[in-house]
Amino acid sequence: MTEFLSSVPGAVLVAILSWWLGTGAILWLVRLPARLFKRSMAALTFLALLSTISTAWSMRHATMAASYVGFVSVIVMWGWHEMAFLSGWITGPRRIAQESSAHGVRRFYLAVQALLHHEIGLLLNMGFLMLLQWGNVNHVALCTFALLWCMRVSSKLNLFFGVPHVGDQYLPAHLAYMGSYFRRSAVTACFYLTISLSAGTWVWLVLEAQRNTVTITTGWVLLASLLGLAIVEHLLMVFALPLQRLWGWAMRQRGELPSPLPTTLPTTRPSQPDSL
């Protein structure tokens, strides 16, 4: 097993499984009955605290095992943020649909307001990891979080400026209003720019490996694989693939697939907003 994990296929497989299982677990948890939300978040918070300890340990050791521990620990950490967002717990101060008349800077400002608290949480987590990294030798955990954050920002920008497939039909019902901040359109310059930068970076990494100008470590393979998966996720905004094909087991709840979201959403705050 150690020999397999130290190989390139082993690291690629771990990256793919971490991405697939991590995403599926969040999709499954967020579709559980609302009364179970506190239990789900409590369990994830406990795991996130453990991942903080394991991340700190991984940063102090330049070994294959430490690279795997740091990578998986950050996936758990990231999963906590995703669950907090998709559950509607940590989103932003604006929890209503986009103004139909909003354009340009106004539309961007309102979109930021819908996500602000979530973005601040991610940046605080990044800053915390940077403090943990200070003086330590293994950068896999920090680089994993930074890569996830960069590609997440790229996805949000593309959803804002416009892509053919925004995936709003997969939003939980309590986040239906988020779909109004997405723009369904032909491929824009933003997509061409972000996909060129990310794909160009991935190709450069592969070429550097072929030229033997970098040392192919477990951490390097994990990060390169994760970048490749993030690029695939970006391509799904253009070439649609129903999520049931990848995460059918997670998308079903009581034998039913998620229903289409309502087409008309409130653009003003209710007098007494619902809470989870």
pLDDT computed for residue 271 by the predictor: 46
pLDDT computed for residue 266 by the predictor: 54
pLDDT in tens, 109-156: 999 999 999 999 999 999 999 999 999 999 999 999 999 999 999 999
Q: Are 229 and 258 in contact (CB under 8 A)?
A: no
Specify the length of the chain in residues.
276
pLDDT computed for residue 215 by the predictor: 80
The CA distances from residue 76 to 2, 22, 24, 228, in Å, are 23, 7, 12, 19
The torsion defined by the Cα of 121, 227, 160 and 107, in degrees rounded to 10, comes to 40
Give the start-to-end residue ranges of the domains of the chain.
2-251
The overall average pLDDT reported for the chain is 88
The DSSP code sequence of 57-75 is HHHT--SHHHHHHHHHHHH
Q: How far is it, in rounded angstroms, from Cα 149 to Cα 131?
A: 17
Look up the pTM and report it.
0.89
Mean pLDDT value of segment 173-201: 94
pLDDT computed for residue 250 by the predictor: 76
Query: What crossing angle do the helices spanning 37-59 and 140-161 adopt, rounded to 10°?
Result: 130
